[in-house]
Amino acid sequence: MNTQISIDVSRCVGGGQCVVAAPEVFDQSDEDGTVILLSEHVGVDQLETVRDAARLCPAAVITVSQEAGR
């Protein structure tokens, strides 16, 4: 099973909580801090850290779904 991650950059407030929680999956622009998705899919081993990142995001920008990508 694959994990699909999607982000809504337009609502990102640039706090970088996701980068601290899951640096392998999220980066951020230095200029304004908005999120950069490094990897749309992650393995099961990274699922929990990505879920933590999604939970921590104050603007609820990150969506994690377990279905395989389209």
Partner 1 sequence: MTVAPEQRSVVVVGAGIAGASAAEALRREGHHGPITVLGEEPCPPYDRPPLSKDVLRGSREVRELGLRDPNVWDDLGVDLQLGRPARSLDLRRRRVLTDTSETPFDGLVLATGAVPRVVPALVGHPRVHVLRTAEDASRIRDQLTGARQLVVIGAGFIGAEVASSATAEGVDVTMVEAASAPMTRNVGQTVAKGLADLHQRHGVRLICGTTVVGVGGMQGVLLELSSGETLVADLVVIGIGADPNVSWLRGSGLDLGDGVLCDASLNAGPTDVFAIGDIARWPNHLFGVTMRVEHWTNAVEQARHVARNLSHGLADPFLGSRYVWSDQYGLRLQAAGLTAETEPTLLVDALAEGRYLACYEKQDRIVGVFGAGMAKKLARARALIEQRTAWAEALEILSDGVSR
Residues that bind partner 1 (CB under 8 A): 13-17, 19-20, 28-33, 58-59
Residue 37 — φ and ψ, nearest 5°? -85, 120
Closest approach, Cβ 24 to partner 1, in A, equals: 15
Residues 6+ apart with CB under 8 A from 28: 14, 16, 18, 19, 34, 35, 36
Smallest distance, partner 1 to C-beta of residue 25, A: 15
Residue 50: strand, helix, or coil: helix
Measured from the CB atom, is 26 or 42 closer to partner 1?
Answer: 26
For partner 1, the closer CB: 1 or 32: 32
